[in-house]
């Protein structure tokens, strides 16, 4: 399952972070192709927001083997009419097991409309011990070098060379399917869905579904190969598995629960105490208490400042 993501790298940096080796073995950065939806970097991206996707350049009749394209995250049904953002189907995820029989996903899959959805990480919620317990959000991302913190971009490098490639933050690459939709105004809207599969022991403690991760360059090349049949493509994905050490994760605050919250602290790590770790409800209650106290302190300070600024009324003698 993947219902919220983070991708804060600017478009130029993404070109370097999504580098690849072409057919001649030369390392190249990835260029952008035109899109009628705009990618806006954010730490809290939800369905119907926009994510960067890698697509075979041949689909757009480009000389480059691979291009980046901004796509709305939530595939628009081809039978939809009117505002493309107002379709009411949940299409941001597609089950791998159902791809071949799906009336929505199998047609673009047969046409070779496969993409790689790119992000820095995604969020998942772990249910509490009881229905009354609040869910704890986690931030999941690719394992990084020891000195790199996923919640602190100041620790990220922005280095690329043709010899050694990208030396910055390692992004997640997830198998996706895309389609295009023509609006009444003549715009072409590309939209995508992330393919998910059953979770294995690496993340099954958190959720029973995970995105299909493309961990190697070979995985990416295979998935973007539009000549593969539907059966071959699905079979390739079925063979991909997560291993210990591929991913890292940490707890974050519940501010990420609202897709309207785009605060940079959405992915900031919150470390519970040993006691709070054993009691998620206590941890969340403690965090909310701290936030409320800080908010009350700010309001008190603001009120005092306002009182100082208010006109003084002289007492009558």
Measure the CA–CA gap between 75 and 40, rounded to whole angstroms.
18
The CB-side HSE value for 195 (13 A sphere, CA atoms) comes to: 30
Q: Is 119 in the active site?
A: no
Which is catalytic among the residues 53, 124, 266, 276?
Answer: 124
**Contact, 53 vs 69, CB < 8 A?**
yes
Instruction: Scan for tokens 């990480």, then name that residue.
Output: 121
Measure the CA–CA gap between 278 and 295, rounded to whole angstroms.
27
Q: Is 192 in the active site?
A: no
Q: Where are the alpha helices (DSSP H) in the chain?
A: 11-17, 106-110, 217-223, 230-238, 274-277, 280-309
Entry field: residues in the chain? 317
Instruction: Scan for tokens 């995105």, then name that residue.
Output: 211
Which is catalytic among the residues 2, 7, 69, 266?
Answer: 2
Please classify residue 44 by burial: count the beta carbons closer than 10 Å to its beta carbon, then call 0-12 exposed, 13-18 middle and 19+ buried: buried
38: nearest Cα among 68, 5, 15, 79: 68
Catalytic residues: 2, 124
């Amino acid at each position: 399952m993947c219902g919220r993501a983070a991708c804060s790298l600017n478009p130029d940096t993404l070109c370097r972070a999504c580098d690849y080796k072409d057919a001649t073995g030369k390392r190249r950065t990835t260029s952008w192709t035109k899109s009628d939806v705009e990618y806006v970097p954010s730490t809290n991206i939800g369905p119907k927001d926009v994510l960067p996707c890698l697509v075979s350049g041949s689909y757009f009749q480009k000389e480059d083997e691979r291009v980046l394209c901004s796509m709305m995250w939530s595939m628009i049904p081809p039978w939809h009419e009117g505002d493309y953002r107002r379709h009411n189907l949940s299409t941001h995820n597609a089950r791998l097991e159902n791809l071949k029989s799906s009336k929505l996903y199998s047609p673009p899959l047969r046409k070779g409309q496969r993409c790689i959805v790119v992000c820095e990480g995604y969020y998942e919620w772990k249910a509490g011990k009881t229905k009354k317990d609040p869910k704890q959000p986690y931030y999941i991302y690719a394992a990084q070098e020891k000195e790199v913190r996923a919640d602190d971009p100041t620790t990220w490098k922005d280095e690329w060379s043709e010899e050694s490639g990208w030396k910055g933050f390692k992004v997640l690459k997830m198998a996706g399917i895309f389609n295009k939709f023509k609006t009444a105004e003549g715009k072409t809207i590309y939209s995508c869905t992330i393919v998910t599969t059953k979770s294995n022991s690496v993340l099954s403690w958190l959720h029973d579904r995970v995105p299909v991760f493309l961990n190697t360059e070979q995985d990416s090349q295979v998935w973007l190969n539009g000549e593969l049949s539907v059966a071959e493509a699905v079979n390739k994905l079925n063979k991909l598995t997560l291993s210990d050490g591929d991913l890292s994760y940490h707890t974050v605050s519940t501010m990420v629960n609202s897709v309207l919250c785009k605060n940079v602290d959405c992915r900031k790590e919150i470390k519970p105490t040993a006691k709070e770790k054993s009691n998620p409800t206590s941890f969340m209650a403690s965090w909310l208490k701290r936030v409320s106290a800080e908010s009350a302190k700010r309001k008190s300070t603001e009120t005092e400042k306002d009182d100082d600024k208010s006109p003084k009324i002289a007492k009558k003698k």
